[in-house]
Amino acid sequence: MQPQEPPPRPVLRAPTTLGEILAELRALHQSSTAFWMHFDAASFYAPLGQAWSPADNVRHLIKSSRPVARALRVPKLLLLVPGGGVSWRGSRSYAEVRETYRRALAGGVQAGRFAPRPEPSPAEPEAARRALMEQRDAVAAELHGAIERWSERALDRFRMPHPALGQLTVREMLYFTLYHNLHHVQNVAGRLGWWEEPRG
């Protein structure tokens, strides 16, 4: 069964600096861990109607965050290959990136190759969840460690391709990654009637 009482709602403060981005990513990882662990193991793997299960959402977030973490660890010159490059316009704010993604969702953008592959319910859901959450922790640690190697200036100078939003500066990609994780928590909570995503 789905839990009856909603878990605490994650709070995100719109970051600006590299340090603020990293702090918000770490805080959101902690609060969203509590959210995903609020489900009993069977409910964690149960689809929400026709929508993904909580576990599917976590697998999608792992699948979409891992390439960002890995890209941030390569030599910066490799980001100059086709699809990346140098930005001369600076970075948009967190709120602007969030709204760009919201418009893309409203326009019908899909997860595409980052969608979780269909999997049967595991025979031992608690052990499966523990392994999945450990994988999530490892990707988050890789991402956070990679961010620490960047400078404020470099976050605005280098670009990375996003499959739905086009070219983003590294700072914008981190804004997206932050909001994307929050969005999936809010989306699941909304499907369960716990709370609606704020529009501000």
Per-residue confidence (pLDDT) for residue 80, from 0 to 100: 62
Task: Report the topology of domain 18-191.
Answer: Four Helix Bundle (Hemerythrin (Met), subunit A) (1.20.120)
Q: What is the mean pLDDT of the chain?
A: 91
pLDDT score recorded for residue 90: 85
Is the pLDDT at 198 greater than 90, yes or no?
Answer: no
pLDDT tens profile 29-77: 999 999 999 999 999 999 999 999 999 999 999 999 999 999 999 877 6
- Provide the residue ranges of all domains of the chain, joining segments of one domain with +: 18-191
pLDDT above 70 covers a percentage of the chain that reads: 92
- So what's the pLDDT on residue 86? 72
Number of H helices, E strands in the chain: 7, 3
pLDDT score of 25 more than 70: yes
Per-residue pLDDT averaged across 146-155, rounded?
Answer: 94
Given a cut of 80, is residue 21 above it in pLDDT?
yes
More confident residue, 75 or 151: 151
- The answer to whether 170 and 150 are in contact (CB under 8 A) is yes
pLDDT number for residue 4? 63
Average of per-residue pLDDT across 168-193: 96
Strands 158-162 and 166-169: what pairing?
Answer: antiparallel
Question: Stretch 124-138: mean pLDDT, rounded?
Answer: 97
- Say how far apart CA 165 and CA 159 lie, in whole Å: 12
The string of pLDDT tens digits covering residues 65-120 is: 999 999 999 877 666 655 557 777 889 999 999 999 999 999 999 999 999 998 88
Residue 9 CA to residue 5 CA, distance in Å, equals: 12
pLDDT at 8: 87
Is 130 in contact with 137 (CB distance < 8 Å)? no
Looking at residue 95, its pLDDT comes to 97
Nearest to residue 177, comparing CAs of 16, 4, 28? 28
Of the candidates 38, 72, 73, 62, the one whose C-alpha atom is nearest the C-alpha of residue 138 is: 62
Q: What mean pLDDT comes out for the span 7-24?
A: 94
